[in-house]
């Protein structure tokens, strides 16, 4: 596990500011008209001191060099000088700094601190009295973990290279020098120079290509640094509605467009639930399969894995999820990574509400039941600090917090409040929460204070029943955990019971089952199965040949666990073609449980590793005790 340095004395000396109102110059109607210069909470994962000098805008100018696999250019940072005597402290990692200039162009002194742990070092810039901005001239290195440069063979088209970035949680500092804390919100503009034939896209408004061939972007709403994102490759666009569309490589685009045709309906449902979509366009880019996540909620442009394209819309819950982040996460953001559940728990809750509206309550119920199961299965395997909603991340990389606790327990907490006060009251409350905290980064304590004063104060009965300490600061399962039910999953359980009691697989009633039902089927099977049993299931249901990534992954885990060697080549093939950590982790974990499996895992990993993103290799290196 990566170690992160603890608070130090200097940080304790931070100047605490009384909040002052700062008017943001803006003419655009979607922008907030004023913002409060709030004193920001300490962030153990950042060296920045935004309460002394705060970055408010980034102007990025980068040329992409696919041969050398690096980007080179500059980042101009506009500053708010709160403490005139304070230097500017930025987060950087693995960047080659070429020089720093002040607002009038003069050179500024700087030092790059030691890389004191796996996550960060700092760039300290001495500011002149009248500097309102600084420009950092730099290039990225091959250790830029946010960036994955793909060879043409790793793309669908096979002819052009590809690049994408992944900023969350603390990787933006590996490609842009800035204050890399989710509490610090900035606007940005970018100029990207890319080779002929490649199209760059960003989490921003696309302003097009200038006469000199450079591409221009701008984001006028203040966002946290982890949401700055770039992808570049042979990309084409297909519209789904006036404000929604899909970017993908040409050979993927047609299929992706039809799989994702409900995007507009999802945005409309989300707006009906929690207020206007404030980001203008909502597009999605389907990335090559090495993308380490299912999806990433980069504003205006969700980044997604191609493994959600199952052909039957069965995995589009992920789109509802990333879209929901346009409210929970992008509009109202966790102030530190401890408060991660404010992003993900809210988003899962919101995702389930969107799915209920667009695809009906039963689909949503099935997804809720599967989510709860995930939480209950994973909880006992987690360190105590990761079992509570309010996480203990001191000494940990925030990436370790991506577990079902912030996601599922977080969503269940909100569902519990909904149960207690009733849906209409809870919806009104959530809507106001988003409106009143729009474009702000907030802590768990701020949410709790708001919950108490704006909701629970009016529902004394609910207030007595809700044990907030148990829900937020305790690692156990709350006594009043909601237990969602699904009739369609109950049907599956009945069939599994018949099968385990001796009924042949052929005789089971499975006609018309959905992906969620098959996932339940696989999950409900006994952990220990004979090769004969697995062969029978495979013959009747064709799992090894499934083209649904979720079903396939769940099945392959069962095959590895029970040494069903007929699936061995499929396991290797899957691990070599997909880089999504959610699939890699359980498969490598299961393989590593036996000496023979571990040998196979290492053999496969040696081949596959160069094709995985750093987010995935960090996890799998650990798992297989791999020394790069």
Footprint on this chain of ligand BES (rule: CB under 6 A):
168-169, 293-297, 318, 321-322, 325, 344, 399, 402, 407, 582
The rounded distance, in Å, linking the Cα atoms of 462 and 536 is 51
Please identify, using beta-carbon distances, which residue of 351 and 590 lies nearer to Zn ion. Answer: 351
Residue 232 per-residue DSSP state: E
Rounded to a whole number of angstroms, the minimum distance from the CB of residue 458 to ligand BES is 32
Place of tokens 């030691």: 114
Please identify, using beta-carbon distances, which residue of 44 and 295 lies nearer to ligand BES. Answer: 295
Structure tokens at 322: 């990333």
Please identify, using beta-carbon distances, which residue of 347 and 589 lies nearer to Zn ion. Answer: 347
DSSP string, 333-392: EESSGGGHHHHHHHHHHHHHHHHHHHH-HHHHHHHHHHHHHHHHHHGGGS-GGGTSSS--
- Ranges of H-type helices in 437-580: 444-454, 460-465, 468-473, 487-500, 515-524, 531-541, 549-561, 568-577
Q: Which stretch binds Zn ion (CB under 5 A): 336-344, 421-429, 576-584, 619-627?
A: 336-344
Please identify, using beta-carbon distances, which residue of 73 and 224 lies nearer to ligand BES. Answer: 224
Cα angle for residues 282, 423, 466 (degrees, 5° grid): 110
Please identify, using beta-carbon distances, which residue of 259 and 322 lies nearer to ligand BES. Answer: 322
Distances (CA, A) of 597 to 18, 56, 530, 559: 59, 51, 17, 12
Rounded to a whole number of angstroms, the minimum distance from the CB of residue 317 to ligand BES is 6
The rounded distance, in Å, linking the Cα atoms of 201 and 192 is 9
Rounded to a whole number of angstroms, the minimum distance from the CB of residue 172 to ligand BES is 11
Rounded to a whole number of angstroms, the minimum distance from the CB of residue 324 to Zn ion is 8
Instruction: Write out the H or E segment, with its range, that includes residue 246.
Output: strand 244-248
The option from Zn ion, ligand BES, none interacting with 43 (CB < 5 to 8 A, set by class) reads none
The option from ligand BES, Zn ion, none interacting with 318 (CB < 5 to 8 A, set by class) reads ligand BES
Q: Where in the sequence numbering do the catalytic residues fall? A: 322, 407
Rounded to a whole number of angstroms, the minimum distance from the CB of residue 170 to ligand BES is 9
Residue 228 per-residue DSSP state: -
Q: Is the peptide bond before 169 cis (omega within 30 degrees of 0)?
A: yes
The rounded distance, in Å, linking the Cα atoms of 492 and 177 is 52
The option from Zn ion, ligand BES, none interacting with 139 (CB < 5 to 8 A, set by class) reads none
**Secondary structure string (H, E, C) spanning 142-207:** CCCCCEEEECHHHCCCCCCCEEEECCCCCCHHHCCCECCCCCCEEEEEEEEECCCCCEEEECCEEE
Q: Are 72 and 65 in contact (CB under 8 A)?
A: yes
The option from ligand BES, Zn ion, none interacting with 294 (CB < 5 to 8 A, set by class) reads ligand BES
Rounded to a whole number of angstroms, the minimum distance from the CB of residue 27 to ligand BES is 31
Say which residues have a Cβ less than 8 Å from residue 621's Cβ, sequence separation at least 6: 627, 628
Place of tokens 């996550």: 119
Rounded to a whole number of angstroms, the minimum distance from the CB of residue 95 to ligand BES is 20
Q: Which stretch binds Zn ion (CB under 5 A): 251-259, 345-353, 513-521, 541-549?
A: 345-353
Q: Are 126 and 86 in contact (CB under 8 A)?
A: no
Structure tokens at 308: 């959600």
For ligand BES, the nearest residue by Cβ is 294
R_g over Cα of the chain: 24
Instruction: Write out the H or E segment, with its range, that includes residue 432.
Output: helix 423-436
- Ranges of H-type helices in 278-339: 317-324
Q: How many CB atoms lie within 10 A of CB 452?
A: 13
Q: Which stretch binds Zn ion (CB under 5 A): 74-82, 224-232, 233-241, 347-355?
A: 347-355
The option from Zn ion, ligand BES, none interacting with 440 (CB < 5 to 8 A, set by class) reads none
Rounded to a whole number of angstroms, the minimum distance from the CB of residue 72 to ligand BES is 26
Q: Which residues bind Zn ion (CB under 5 A)?
A: 344, 347
């Amino acid at each position: 596990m990566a170690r992160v340095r603890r608070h130090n004395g200097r940080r304790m000396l931070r100047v605490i500011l009384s909040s002052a109102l700062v008017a943001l110059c803006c003419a655009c109607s979607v922008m907030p008209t004023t913002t409060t210069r709030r004193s920001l909470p300490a962030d153990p994962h950042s060296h920045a001191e935004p309460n002394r000098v705060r970055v408010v805008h980034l102007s990025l100018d980068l040329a992409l060099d696919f041969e050398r696999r690096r980007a080179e250019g500059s980042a101009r940072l506009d500053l708010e000088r709160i403490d005139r005597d304070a230097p500017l402290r930025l987060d950087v990692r693995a960047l080659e700094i070429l020089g720093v200039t002040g607002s009038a162009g003069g050179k500024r002194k700087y030092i790059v601190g030691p890389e004191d742990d796996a996550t960060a070092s700092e760039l300290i810039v001495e500011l002149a009295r009248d500097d309102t901005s600084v420009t950092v001239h730099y290039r990225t290195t091959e250790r830029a973990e946010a960036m994955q440069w793909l060879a043409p063979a790793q793309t669908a088209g096979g002819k052009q290279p590809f690049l994408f970035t992944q900023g969350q949680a603390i990787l933006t500092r590996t490609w842009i020098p800035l204050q890399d804390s989710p509490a610090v919100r900035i606007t940005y503009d970018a100029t990207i120079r890319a080779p002929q034939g490649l199209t760059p896209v960003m989490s921003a408004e696309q302003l097009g290509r200038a006469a000199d061939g450079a591409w221009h972007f701008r984001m006028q709403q203040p966002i946290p640094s982890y949401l700055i994102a770039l992808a570049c490759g042979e990309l084409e666009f297909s519209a789904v509605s006036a404000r929604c569309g899909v970017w993908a490589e040409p050979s993927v685009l047609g299929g992706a467009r039809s799989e994702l045709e409900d995007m507009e309906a999802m945005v409309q449902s989300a707006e009906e639930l929690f207020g206007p979509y404030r980001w203008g366009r909502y597009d999605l880019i389907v990335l090559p399969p090495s993308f380490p996540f299912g999806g990433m909620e980069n504003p205006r442009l969700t980044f997604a894995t191609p493994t959600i394209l199952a052909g039957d819309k069965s995995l589009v819950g992920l789109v509802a999820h990333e879209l929901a982040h346009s409210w929970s996460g992008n509009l109202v953001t966790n102030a530190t990574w401890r408060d991660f559940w404010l992003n993900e728990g809210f988003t899962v809750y919101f995702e389930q509400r969107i799915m209920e509206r667009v695809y009906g309550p039963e689909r949503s119920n099935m997804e809720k039941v599967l989510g709860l199961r995930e939480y209950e299965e994973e909880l006992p395997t987690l360190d105590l600090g990761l079992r509570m909603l309010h996480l203990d991340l001191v000494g940990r990389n925030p990436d370790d917090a991506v577990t079902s606790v912030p996601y599922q327990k977080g969503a269940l907490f909100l569902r519990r409040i909904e149960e207690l006060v009733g849906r209409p009251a809870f919806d009104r409350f959530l809507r106001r929460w988003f409106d009143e905290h729009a474009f702000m980064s907030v802590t768990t304590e701020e949410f709790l204070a708001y919950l108490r004063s704006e909701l629970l104060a009016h529902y004394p009965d609910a207030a007595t029943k809700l044990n907030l300490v148990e829900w937020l600061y305790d690692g156990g399962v709350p006594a009043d955990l909601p237990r969602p039910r699904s009739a369609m999953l109950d049907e599956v359980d009945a069939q599994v019971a018949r099968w385990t009691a001796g009924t042949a697989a052929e005789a089971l009633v499975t006609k018309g089952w959905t992906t969620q039902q098959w996932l339940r089927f696989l999950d409900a099977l006994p952990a220990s199965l004979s090769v004969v049993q697995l062969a029978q299931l495979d013959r009747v249901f064709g799992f090894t040949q499934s083209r649904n990534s979720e079903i396939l992954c769940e099945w392959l885990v069962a095959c590895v666990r029970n040494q069903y060697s007929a699936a061995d080549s499929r396991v290797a093939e899957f691990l070599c073609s997909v880089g999504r950590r959610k699939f890699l982790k359980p498969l490598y974990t299961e393989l590593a449980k036996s000496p023979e499996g571990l040998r196979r895992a290492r053999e496969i990993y040696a081949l596959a590793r160069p094709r995985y993103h750093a987010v995935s290799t960090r996890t799998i290196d650990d798992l297989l005790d791999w020394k790069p």
